[in-house]
Amino acid sequence: MTATRGLEGVVATTSSISSIIDDTLTYAGYDIDDLAENASFEEVIYLLWHGNLPTQAQLDELKSQLAENADLPKEVLDHFKTYPIDQVHPMAALRSAVSLLGLYDSEADVMTEESNYQKAIRLQAKMPAIVAAFARVRKGLEPVAPNKNLGFAANFLYMLNDKEPEAIAVEAIDKALVLHADHELNASTFTARVCVATLSDVYSGVTAAIGALKGPLHGGANEAVMKMLTEIGTLENVEPAIRSKMDNKEKIMGFGHRVYRQGDPRAKHLREMSKKLTELTGEPHWYEMSTKIESIVTGEKNLPPNVDFYSASVYHSLGIDHDLFTPIFAVSRVSGWLAHILEQYANNRLIRPRADYTGPGMQKYIPVEQRG
């Protein structure tokens, strides 16, 4: 056996959900550029779960199901109020809340195809409600009940801010959700598939995935990008700050990707949205700083920005707390996790790789009194 660090280049399964071929990302054969420009997030959810885009009737039914299942159990809302708010990261709160949801779902351990699909509906519907409710509770505000007349992206912003959002904000969130929905066999998706391959339940699979996404080398990168931009502060400080990081061999978050070699195809869509939003909010320096950082890092290190880099300034321009950036990623990516979970159940085999042992050779037990 030969070990491959990080399983780089190892093909671990077959899947019909998404692909990355020659730096082109597709969902079920649809180019991400096509979907980012034309599809709603609800259409993408249907596409990932069914392998084809919905008819109008199918889309209407999915929207209705998501709206009807968006409310959170009172026990979950009350649980937020027990957290040590000043110590809890929203990703930890999200992970705990999803696990808690399983306790209040009477079908949590029912493993039929229909039951698992209905659990997927419930989880997809409740994820934005969890993020928005926790964000408000920690500020001493009451959670906002979902508005069943709003679409997925608009409803998330409504629950977060207790007012109907402007069209540009809905467009930005919807586009970000589409772009983050799935990404082949990334770390959190692989985690979800490993978990449910044991025939554990859907809630366990999504909870495990959230734990993987929480790490700064996966979903946490967008929050780290905004922290870097805030620390740099001004356009004039960009060059000395970035060159200092490069000289000290510090990792510059939001650049490079394990799979893409010529650049992340999703990044350009959020770059355009960042430019539009920062100009509208009167803070163009966030976009200008970002493009200057890109020119230095890409120009000298040949590392193009990934999807996390410009999502940071997009979310900031919408007035979203920086530590909510990764939970928003999860609100989108749960659509992909659920697609992979359902696919794993449909053709399951326990995922059990081997390890290349590097420890000592055969040894003999020595009684404790004889050990020197």
Q: What is the domain-level CATH number for residue 139? A: 1.10.580.10
Total count of domains within the chain: 2
pLDDT of residue 9: 80
3-state SS, residue 174: helix
pLDDT of residue 251: 87
Same domain, 230 and 281: yes
pLDDT of residue 1: 67
- For 244-286, what is each residue's pLDDT tens digit? 999 999 989 888 777 777 788 999 999 999 999 999 999 999 9
What CATH number has the domain bearing residue 311? 1.10.230.10
Q: Kindly list the catalytic residues.
A: 257, 308
Nearest-angstrom CA–CA distance, 348 and 343: 8
The verdict on residue 353 lying in a domain is no
pLDDT of residue 290: 96
Same domain, 78 and 99: yes
pLDDT of residue 85: 82
Same domain, 210 and 253: no
Tokens of 74: 């009172």
Q: Which one is predicted more confidently, 90 or 307?
A: 90
Same domain, 210 and 262: no
Same domain, 185 and 257: no
Same domain, 142 and 47: yes
| Structural domain boundaries enclosing 202 | 16-214+327-346
Residue 56 neighbours by CB under 8 Å, 6+ apart: none
Nearest-angstrom CA–CA distance, 143 and 352: 42
Within 12-67, strands assigned E span 18-21, 24-27, 30-31
The verdict on residue 10 lying in a domain is no
Torsion-angle region of 245 (φ positive above 0: left; ψ -120 to 50: alpha; else: beta):
alpha
Same domain, 107 and 155: yes
Same domain, 182 and 247: no
| Residue among 282, 317, 322, 53 at smallest CA distance from 172 | 317
pTM recorded for the entire structure:
0.94
Nearest-angstrom CA–CA distance, 108 and 57: 28
Contact 90, 135 (CB under 8 A): yes
pLDDT of residue 117: 98
| Residue among 101, 109, 111 at smallest CA distance from 80 | 101
Nearest-angstrom CA–CA distance, 200 and 197: 7
Question: How many percent of the chain have pLDDT more than 90?
Answer: 85
| Residue among 128, 122, 131, 123 at smallest CA distance from 192 | 123
